[in-house]
């Protein structure tokens, strides 16, 4: 009996019922849209950060060997990657970091070797693509601008590094060193 009365009321007042449902729906959208968009943006940001760097990390510079051994042996540390930082290289008005990478460090930062090989000897390096493009503009190196025709070549780079020595005195290393470029990688 109640359902028959309810059905009759809804049929007679369908315009009012539709307007009421529409008003409730709009009110819900206005109230919850802002928080939903903030939450979805936060989730997107977190996902993007996670995809770019899926691990927590800490960086330390000029660490003493015994301190480094303590970190490596700590049970809470999953893995350690080491990089030797030569210094900053200035080439064609831009500055680049020159360092040596091990395979694990290379993969952690999601770098991708585009062409060539990874270095196997102490004087071999791989260049980031942006630096390779800058070097390619200089005709004195006689290198191909096309990466498919890449051949290893020698380059002399000047790098500058500032650090504090064991006596806590500020030191500056400014050196030229010859390297053999054996590959090109892309930084993500």
pLDDT digits (tens, 9 = 90+) for 128-180: 888 888 877 776 767 777 777 888 888 888 878 887 777 888 888 888 888 88
Residue 117 has pLDDT above 80, yes or no: yes
- Exposed, middle or buried, 87 (CB in 10 Å: 0-12/13-18/19+)? buried
**Scanning the structure block, which residue is given the tokens 């493009």?**
133
User: What is the overall mean pLDDT for the chain?
Assistant: 79
SS3 percent helix, strand, coil of the chain, rounded to 5, is 45, 30, 30
pLDDT in tens, 14-41: 888 889 899 998 888 888 777 777 777 8
Tell me the H-state helices in 1-13.
Answer: 2-12
* Angle of the 2-12 helix axis to the 14-52 helix axis, nearest 10: 90
Q: How far is CA 175 from the centre of its chain?
A: 29
**What is the reported pTM?**
0.56
pLDDT band at 57 (very low <50, low <70, confident <90, very high): low
């Amino acid at each position: 009996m109640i359902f028959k009365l309810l059905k009759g009321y809804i049929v007679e007042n369908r315009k009012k019922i539709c307007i009421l449902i529409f008003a409730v729906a709009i009110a819900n959208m206005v109230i919850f849209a802002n928080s939903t968009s903030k939450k979805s943006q936060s989730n997107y940001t977190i996902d993007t950060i996670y995809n770019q760097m899926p691990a927590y990390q800490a960086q330390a510079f000029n660490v003493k060997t015994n301190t480094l051994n303590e970190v490596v042996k700590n049970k809470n540390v999953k893995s350690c990657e080491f990089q030797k930082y030569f210094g900053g290289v200035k080439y064609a008005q831009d500055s680049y970091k020159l360092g040596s990478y091990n395979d694990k460090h290379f993969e952690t930062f999601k770098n991708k070797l585009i062409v060539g090989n990874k270095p196997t000897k102490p004087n071999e390096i791989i260049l980031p693509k942006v630096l390779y493009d800058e070097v390619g503009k200089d005709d004195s190196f006689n290198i191909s601008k096309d990466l498919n025709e890449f051949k290893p070549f020698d380059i002399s780079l000047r790098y500058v590094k500032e650090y504090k020595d064991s006596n806590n005195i500020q030191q500056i290393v400014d050196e030229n060193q010859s390297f053999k470029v054996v590959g090109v990688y892309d930084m993500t």
